[in-house]
Structure 1
Amino acid sequence: MIKQLLLVGLGGGIGSIFRYLTSMLTVKYYANTFPLATFITNIIGCFIIGLLIGYFSNTNPDNSLKLLFITGFCGGYTTFSTFAAENISLLQNQNYLTLIAYTLASVLVGFLAVGFGLMITK
């Protein structure tokens, strides 16, 4: 159990660092009401998890790799709670069009990114 927790923690820490870097790079080049940094992070995370699930289903690796990369890295990298909080902020600020566009785009493009990641590994 300790080994599994350490793997998830290690992957989560690395994922969180990559999330921070993605956010900083995005904000550096784009500033607007649309929460692009979280959107990009979540779509990249969806794509990565699709790749990993597809790859792992073909190779049947040790469960440690799944814990490290899927539960840990992808869990630390993506952020549904930030997505939800940003949507509440958009609602409170009456940015209704951005709220609808962000929510729909996140769900639809995220779904497509997971599917694309899976497709690549087939």
Structure 2
Amino acid sequence: MTAFVGILTALAGGLGAACRMFVDAALNRRPRTIPIGTFGVNVTACLAMGLVSGVALAAPGDTVWLGVIGTGLLGGYSTFSTAMVESARLLRAGRVRAGLAHGLGMLLVSLVALLAGQGTGLVLLC
């Protein structure tokens, strides 16, 4: 990796973090029983990462862009640790069903979103 690619990845990470802040705020405008903002951010990040990795699988070659987009932009955008803090907060508050639904539901939906993105990426290039 060159210094230029490292700088691009860092800038993409900052952009991803800013996007996360705006999307999370937009989704959390109304109070809900489950924090939907982080859930939505992580699911859309997995969908996008699936799409990017699906394209990379269908058209192997120079993968510098994959690192900049995947590691940088989508790494800055997704927020798995925050999601787990939110799940733990719900569990500690005695809201076991909500905590489990949030944590396990996000994992399942995110995995399905990633697989759907990969499938779409593969289909687009075939």
TM-score (norm 1): 0.92
Give the number of equivalent residue pairs: 121
Task: State the alpha-carbon separation in 1 of the partners of residues 27 and 87 from structure 2.
Answer: 18
Listed one character per residue, the Cα deviations across residues 80-106 of structure 1 (whole Å, up to 9, x for unaligned) are: 110111112111111111011111210
Q: Which runs of 4+ in 1 moved over 2 A?
A: 59-64
Deviates more, 1:108-117 or 1:58-67: 58-67
Listed one character per residue, the Cα deviations across residues 10-45 of structure 1 (whole Å, up to 9, x for unaligned) are: 1101111110110111112x3123010000000000
CA RMSD in angstroms, aligned pairs only: 1.3
| Deviation, structure 1 residue 61 | 4.6
Task: State the alpha-carbon separation in 2 of the partners of residues 26 and 66 from structure 1.
Answer: 27
Segments of 5+ residues of structure 2 without an aligned counterpart are none
1:8 corresponds in structure 2 to 9
Task: State the alpha-carbon separation in 2 of the partners of residues 76 and 46 from structure 1.
Answer: 12
Deviates more, 1:66-75 or 1:39-48: 66-75
Q: In the alignment, is the contact (CA less than 8 A) between 2:28 and 2:35 conserved in 1?
A: no
Q: How does 1:1-122 map to 2 (within 5 A)?
A: 1-28=2-29, 30-122=30-122
Task: State the alpha-carbon separation in 2 of the partners of residues 81 and 100 from structure 1.
Answer: 15
| Deviation, structure 1 residue 67 | 1.7
Task: State the alpha-carbon separation in 1 of the partners of residues 48 and 62 from structure 2.
Answer: 18
Deviates more, 1:39-48 or 1:15-24: 15-24
- Give me the identity figure in percent: 28
Deviates more, 1:90-99 or 1:34-43: 90-99
User: SS of the residue aligned with 1:121?
Assistant: helix
Q: In the alignment, is the contact (CA less than 8 A) between 1:50 and 1:115 conserved in 2?
A: yes
TM-score (norm 2): 0.89
